[in-house]
Chain A
Amino acid sequence: MKLKRLDILHPLLFSLLGVLIAGLFVADLLVGTTRIPLDEVWAALRGVASSEHYEMIVCRMRLPKVIVAILSGMALSASGLQMQTLFRNPLAGPYVLGINSGASFGVALFTMALPMLGAVSGGWLMRFGVTGMAWIGSAAILMMVMSLSRRIKNINVILILGMMLGSAISAVVGILQYIGTEESLKAFMVWTMGSLSAVTIDDMYIFVPAIILGLVLAVAVVKPLNMLLLGEANARTVGLNVVRSRVIIFLSTTLLAGSVTAFCGPIGFIGLAMPHLARMTFRTADHRVLVPASMLWGAVSMLLCCFICDVVAHNGLMLPVNSITSLLGVPIIIFVVLRNRNRR
């Protein structure tokens, strides 16, 4: 078989993305509100910086942020890719399953409803509560969708139920926003804008293992994902254990999308757009290539968003990362939708 073209294209693209990630990694360490020269950054990373202040900024603030950017980008796009294949829908993502809404609901309950009941919140408890509730919220939605999927074999019904569930939750969140106090509303809004720097070193002990486990599971299901390209019935006739694959994919998606949403806020469009970018650039539907390719594109996109935020912040303006990811992702999704419409 002459598949030579892709045999050259794929290693080329993988190395290109690798170089991009390395470049953006360094750029993100360099840029920020404080100007630190390159040799000082390098020294700080090795623990021999000339000032403790530099070392604090580089190792305790910038480095965790860059690592969070890489991991969350990989996580969101890997979960988006799995959803798109499982639901055979190019516009599927963690959002359609209601995972984001579930997380938002948990956070809304904590930030807005709890103060209404007279509970005090703030500081350490606040942060812990927000992430914890986002986790619980997304996990609860996922469990609901999973138990539904055991009874309902049609994947489209599950998709619609996920959307309905998400809408209902958004409505309740809307009501909470309306009746909540101004202070609690602000706390909630800050979370919805998303922030990569919100993840502290202590958070990393949960965040990093959760994401890595989710990514490992995503790699483990490359073959089931390829089989699912044929549709669920056909996949079963080529030997797919549908229930087991579905559970692994759901588990991976929750771990990935749920953790990112819990720690960084709802970051939109990366999960939806990056798998498409991977398909377009790598010109394949083979998940053995697409899963790593999507992860790398996700890392690049989040590093880029992070970099843009940093550059803007350097000029004294703090931008929510969510708006940057939307501005980056929306054009790609519009392009995909229009192209699908033109086809056939």
Chain B
Amino acid sequence: MIELRNISLGFGSRTLIEGASTRFECGRMIALLGRNGTGKSTLLRAIAALGEARCGEIIIDGKPLSEYNSAELARKVAFVNTERVDVEALTAYDLVAIGRSPYTGWSGRLTKEDRSIVERAMQIAGVEAMADRRVETLSDGEAQRVMIARALAQDTPAILLDEPTAFLDLPNRYELCTLLGRLAREEGKCVIFSTHELDIALSLADSIALVYTPRLVHLSTEEMISSGNIERLFNGDYAGFDAESRSIRIFQGR
């Protein structure tokens, strides 16, 4: 679905990722891991055409990203970030309905089919009860799920999520990521999400893309654990990853 060919990313003189090549397939949930500021968001933004790669090519559904116009791309890739949308008098339903924009006419009028897609998207994300609520009254967790419903309404084969679990509590994090996993496996979508939640990534994701500056390592979850990359990357002075227990260990008295 999404293919990176020798991608390099960076700002100014700073290089984040260099020469990354890999494929993200449909029907898989891919966790994007890496330390702070190593280019996880930059990579997702590049795939969503919100930023440009320094060199290399991104191929989406067999066509280079540069050949897509914004409306075409919006039918292939949906993008969810952590930004809250707080607009006066905007209802959750209307917000989700904006996800139908790539398919509607000049005025954005919804057809009966569009409406049923919007309703289904809200059901899948578990926000159908909030349809008439104003977005400014939603909690952070609810707002995040409404944004995911919006991405689902976009009906794209690929969904990118930038730290979707950032504002959620532990049960909600697992619930959300289980939902994303179901979307990948049951609806055949290619779901890529960046996260700092190692345990969630290891227990739920099909494969892991790790930003190991300046490389991007993409392996299946099992291979990634046994590769030792995670231990090396996440070992700080006070805590580190323990491959045997698949969890973070705090070092005492180091």
Contact = CB atoms under 8 A, between A and B. Distances in A.
B170 interface: no
B202 to A, nearest CB: 28
30 contacts: A1-B93, A90-B88, A220-B106, A222-B107, A226-B101, A230-B85, A231-B83, A231-B85, A233-B50, A234-B79, A236-B50, A238-B99, A238-B102, A238-B150, A238-B154, A239-B71, A239-B73, A239-B75, A240-B101, A241-B69, A242-B70, A279-B88, A279-B89, A282-B89, A284-B89, A284-B94, A285-B87, A285-B89, A285-B90, A288-B107
Interface in A81-115: 88, 90
A74 B81 CA distance: 36
State the main secondary structure of chain A at its contact with B. loop
Contact of B77 (A220, A237, A279, A286): A237
A227 B98 contact: yes
A1 to B, nearest CB: 6
Interface size class, chain B: 35 or more
Given A3-B93, A236-B49, A237-B74, A226 B136 contact: no
Given A223-B108, A279-B89, A3 B132 contact: yes
Contacts of B132: 2-3
Interface in A255-309: 279-280, 282-286, 288
A294 to B, nearest CB: 13
B78 interface: yes
Contacts of B74: 237-239
Nearest to B71: A239
A88 B86 CA distance: 10
Interface of B: 48-50, 69-75, 77-79, 81, 83, 85-91, 93-95, 98-99, 101-102, 104, 106-109, 115, 119, 131-132, 136, 150, 154
Interface of A: 1-3, 88, 90, 220, 222-223, 226-227, 229-231, 233-234, 236-242, 279-280, 282-286, 288, 343-344
Which of A222, A226, A237 has the most chain B CB within a 10 Å cutoff? A237
State the main secondary structure of chain B at its contact with A. loop
A69 to B, nearest CB: 27
Nearest to A243: B70
A288 B87 CA distance: 16
Contacts of A231: 83, 85
B93 to A, nearest CB: 6
A239 B104 CA distance: 11
Contacts of B115: 1
A1 B101 contact: no
A229 B81 CA distance: 15
Contact of B136 (A90, A234, A237, A343): A343
B167 to A, nearest CB: 14
Contacts of A279: 88-89
Given A223-B107, A239-B71, A288-B107, A230 B98 contact: yes
